[in-house]
Amino acid sequence: MQPESGYGALQVDKIYQNVYFIKLPKYLKFIDLNQEIEAAMIASMTGFGKGETEAGEYRASVEVRSVNGRYGDVVVHISRSLSELESRIKSAVLETVSRGRVDVSVNVEGQQTEQGRPVLNLDVVDAYGEVLAVLKERLQLSGEADLAAVVTLPHLFNFESQGLDLDAVWEAIAPAIQEAVSGCLNMRKAEGKKLAEDFVARIGILEDLLQQVEALAPERVVTIRQKLEDKLAMLLTPEQVDENRLLMEISILAERSDVTEECVRFYSHNAQFLETMKRNEAVGRRLNFLLQEMLREANTIGSKAGDAEIAHLVVEMKEEIEKLKEQVQNIE
């Protein structure tokens, strides 16, 4: 795989030879890119699954579609005569799906599973009649209510199915839901594996950029000293320059521009990102938090370093982080 980067047509494994460095405060750890991808357990929030089962006189067909969403939101599409089963269906789906909008379409064939016999809701009819009468008198309207228009008013009818055994219907629906959800989860995991390949490659790129920053950082002290000496040479004679004061000023400026702590924290965030991907749970929010912390460190490195080359590397870092943030939005 080859993510977009400033490395042209080179493959990631050619750049890193499938090994990159995670630097933590007390040790250096070698991590194999392919092993990280294989160990990743992340799942996408996009998927589809279908299940069909038959139990007794009922035949059930269930389709499950899931898309991005901040929370676990289940929307059930089922005939009105079976609406009492909606809460059971939602609970069954949420047992295995924690994030994303999930649409569940349920179709049941069998005796008495149609919409049912319409029954006039007299309380609602009376309420409509009173309201229409008040409306006619208050606005001084003429004419009578049209039957064709009245019957379209909401909640005017209830639909009753005589003798419908909801438990028997559920016996047909439940296995179909399980099959459909399982298929949807498999698709989400397959897409998660593809995203893991992209994530690991981009973390490798960030590691390489950090190493370049660390290589350039020591040169900043030399640059700072040279700039100070040049300015002093324009203002003072060599005899007027206090070498001790010059060294003190260089030390202060070098300390202010030191990015060692930021690089160490950045390496740590990279390591945590990879470890989090291995958890068999919903990790999307944690990954997003870590990316925000990476972006914070990158911004600090750019502002402290005051160097054109490092600034260019920081821009590349931020580009990779933004690409990661965009993809993480689809992680459960």
In this structure, what token pair is assigned to residue 202?
């981009």
pLDDT at 273: 92
pLDDT at 121: 82
Tell me if residue 75 falls in helix, strand or coil. Answer: strand
pLDDT at 98: 85
Q: What is the DSSP string of 87-145?
A: HHHHHHHHTT--SEEEEEEEEEESTT-SS-EEEE-HHHHHHHHHHHHHHHHHTT--S--
Surface-to-core class of residue 253, CB atoms within 10 Å of its CB (0-12 exposed, 13-18 middle, 19+ buried): middle
Element spanning 299, H or E? helix 284-305
Residue whose tokens read 């309201």: 131
CA 36-40-44 angle, 5° bins? 140
Q: What is the pLDDT of residues 278-289, one digit of tens each?
A: 888 888 899 999
pLDDT at 251: 56
pLDDT at 53: 92
What residues form DSSP beta bridges with 32? Answer: 19
Task: Look at the pTM and tell me if it is higher than 0.75.
Answer: no
pLDDT at 266: 93
pLDDT at 168: 87
Q: What is the pLDDT of residues 213-226, one digit of tens each?
A: 888 877 665 666 66
pLDDT at 262: 86
Q: What is the pLDDT of residues 75-106, one digit of tens each?
A: 999 988 788 899 999 999 999 888 889 999 99
The mean pLDDT of the chain is 78
Cα 268 to Cα 25, 27, 140, 217: the distances in Å are 8, 11, 75, 19
- 222: which residues sit within 8 A by CB, 6+ positions away? none
pLDDT at 91: 93
Those residues of the chain that have pLDDT short of 50 are: 1-30
